[in-house]
């Protein structure tokens, strides 16, 4: 993080995204404070000045050049940032939603955070009512919040949604809509300048936008860290398996980073069947390309909904001789009764561990022995900070060299704990 004058940075949390937002804000504050201290130390040495004198000069500079947005506080101390924006969300009896921003955001670089996959009760009407929201409810909350921010004079609006809504409806095989692109068009028309998301289901969605930018982050580094810390994993004979043709690029990335072979599952689906729970799957045929017998299987996918497809794949791999099976899932929804079915599969020893991110708010999943959660809020915080200051985010989007280096070092040392930039 570079420190300039981040006082016009603002973050607004929609209902259901408060926990994620608070962690992102905490990382932002720590990062700016750490960078500020480093800058003061460097300038003190460079100009042979006392630290307090340098701090006064920096605060004076900000007060003169940014009088409307400078952070108030003592002239000779670091001024903690106020990043979180207060807002009131009202849910009316007829189902309508209203967002009211309770402080000025005119001229702010605003980041609106929403977790459209949150299925837990969220607060409305100052906490007087709790509602379990659907994806559509969360999406409409985004719409009215963006509109409120635009009306309130925000200079730039960035939507931070680790789960991109309707991302699976990105291609039409018949008389069906391209809803993923249409959602983006609506957001663009409302005034969203850019979107930050995680492991977008298809990059084709970006082609639907005219001017809006999209930063597609990857949790690969955090996944590799968790994977590398599993006991005895570096002594295993590992093979990376792509669960379908659409996931080949993602799993080839891991195979290249690990310097391990890549196998693939080829499956044909019957799209006339809609899976409603983990006992069902619309897979009509499944074939394996590659050797997995007696090997530890590493499998990565972007999301698990009800989990029927993943359970079918696990059973298929076990029937074909796979040893230990470890899955990395960026967006672990585990909707319906999926957790119960995965509990049964774990007892059956169909898999060893599932590694997921906190991009989707979970409570029950975190209680499971078989589930490992990795925290990606600092990844989002660093992305927000860099975008806010006009810096490159390339190193956050493509981290394969770092992954390869650290995985090989972890293999030699037996752990990855001391060398990771995202804690």
Report DSSP letters for 65-97, one per residue.
H-TTTPPPS-TTS------BPPEEEEE-TTS-E
Taking all residues of the chain, what is their mean pLDDT, rounded to a whole number? 88
pLDDT at 268 (0 to 100): 74
The pLDDT of residue 420 is 38
8 Å CB contact between 356 and 365 = yes
Instruction: Give the helix ranges, DSSP H, for 191-290.
Output: 220-228, 248-258
Q: Tell me what pLDDT residue 169 has.
A: 83
Residues 122-178 have pLDDT tens digits of 989 988 889 999 999 999 999 999 999 999 999 999 999 999 999 888 877 777 888
The whole-number pLDDT of residue 276 equals 56
Residue 418 has pLDDT above 50, yes or no: no
Q: How far apart are CA 311 and CA 80, in angstroms?
A: 48
Band of the pLDDT at 399, cuts 50, 70, 90?
Answer: low
Residue 41 has pLDDT above 60, yes or no: yes
Measured distance CA(169)–CA(271) in Å, rounded: 13
- Minimum mean pLDDT range among 133-147, 350-364, 403-417: 403-417
What size, in residues, is the chain? 423
Per-residue pLDDT of 55-96, as tens digits, reads 999 888 888 877 776 678 888 899 888 899 999 999 999 989
Q: What are 267-294's pLDDT values in tens digits? A: 775 555 555 555 556 566 788 999 999 9
Question: pTM for the whole thing?
Answer: 0.89
Q: CA torsion 32→34→39→41, rounded to 10°?
A: 160
**Nearest one of 223, 153, 158 to 416, comparing CA atoms:** 223
Q: At what angle do helices 308-319 and 338-347 cross, to 10 degrees?
A: 10
Per-residue DSSP letters for 156-197?
EEEEE-SS-TTTT----SSS---HHHHHHHHHHHHT--EEEE
Confidence tier at 417 by pLDDT (50, 70, 90): very low
| Of the listed ranges 14-23, 77-86, 283-292, 412-421, the one predicted with least confidence | 412-421
- Model confidence band, residue 422 (pLDDT cutoffs 50, 70, 90): very low
Active site residue 267: yes
- Catalytic-labelled residue, pool 29, 130, 260, 267: 267
Tokens of 333: 């929804």
Least confident of 158-162, 217-221, 315-319: 217-221
User: Which whole number is the average pLDDT over 26-51?
Assistant: 94
Q: Which residues pair with 152 in a beta bridge?
A: none
Asked whether the predicted pLDDT for residue 415 surpasses 60, the reply is no
- 220-374+398-413 maps to which CATH number? 3.40.50.2020
Per-residue pLDDT, averaged over 313-320, amounts to 94
Res 335: pLDDT: 92
Task: Give me the numbers of helices (H) and strands (E) for the chain, helices first please.
Answer: 11, 16
Between CA 107 and CA 160, with CA 63 as vertex, the angle to 5 degrees is 35
């Amino acid at each position: 993080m570079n420190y300039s004058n981040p006082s016009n940075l603002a973050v607004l949390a929609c209902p259901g995204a408060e926990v994620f937002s608070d962690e992102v804000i905490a990382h932002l504050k720590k990062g700016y404070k750490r960078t500020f201290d480093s800058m003061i130390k460097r300038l003190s040495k460079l100009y042979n000045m006392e630290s307090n004198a340098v701090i006064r000069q920096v605060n004076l500079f900000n007060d003169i050049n940014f009088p409307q947005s400078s952070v108030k506080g003592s002239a000779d101390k670091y001024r903690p940032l106020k990043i979180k924006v207060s807002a009131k969300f009202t849910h009316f009896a007829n189902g309508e939603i209203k967002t009211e921003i309770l402080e000025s955001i005119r001229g702010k670089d605003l980041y609106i955070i929403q977790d459209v996959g949150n299925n837990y009760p969220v607060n409305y009407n100052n906490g007087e009512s709790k509602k379990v929201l659907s994806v559509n409810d969360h999406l409409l909350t985004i719409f009215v919040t963006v509109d409120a921010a635009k009306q309130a004079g925000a200079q730039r609006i960035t939507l931070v949604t680790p789960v991109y809504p309707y991302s699976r409806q990105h291609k039409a095989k018949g008389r069906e809509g391209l809803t993923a692109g249409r959602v983006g068009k609506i957001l663009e028309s409302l005034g969203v300048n850019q979107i930050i998301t995680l492991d977008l289901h298809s990059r084709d969605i970006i082609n639907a936008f005219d001017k809006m930018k999209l930063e597609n982050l990857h949790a690969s580094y955090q996944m590799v860290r968790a994977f590398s810390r599993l006991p005895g994993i570096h002594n295993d004979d590992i093979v990376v398996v792509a669960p379908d043709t659409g996931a080949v690029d993602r799993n080839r990335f891991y195979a290249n980073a690990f310097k391990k072979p890549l196998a693939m599952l080829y499956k044909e689906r019957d799209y006339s069947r809609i899976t409603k729970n983990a006992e069902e799957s619309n897979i009509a045929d499944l074939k394996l390309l590659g050797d997995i017998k007696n090997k530890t299987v590493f499998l990565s996918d972007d999301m698990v909904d009800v989990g029927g497809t993943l359970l079918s794949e696990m059973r298929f791999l076990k029937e074909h001789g796979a040893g230990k099976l470890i899955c990395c899932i960026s967006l672990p929804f585990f909707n319906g009764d999926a957790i119960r079915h995965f509990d049964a599969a774990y007892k059956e020893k169909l898999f060893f561990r599932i590694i997921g991110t906190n991009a989707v708010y979970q409570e029950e999943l975190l209680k499971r022995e078989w589930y490992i959660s990795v925290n990606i809020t600092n990844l989002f915080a660093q992305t927000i900070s860099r975008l806010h200051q006009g810096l490159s985010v390339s190193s956050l989007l493509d981290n394969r060299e770092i992954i390869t280096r650290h995985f090989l070092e972890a293999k030699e040392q037996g752990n990855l704990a001391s060398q990771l930039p995202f804690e």
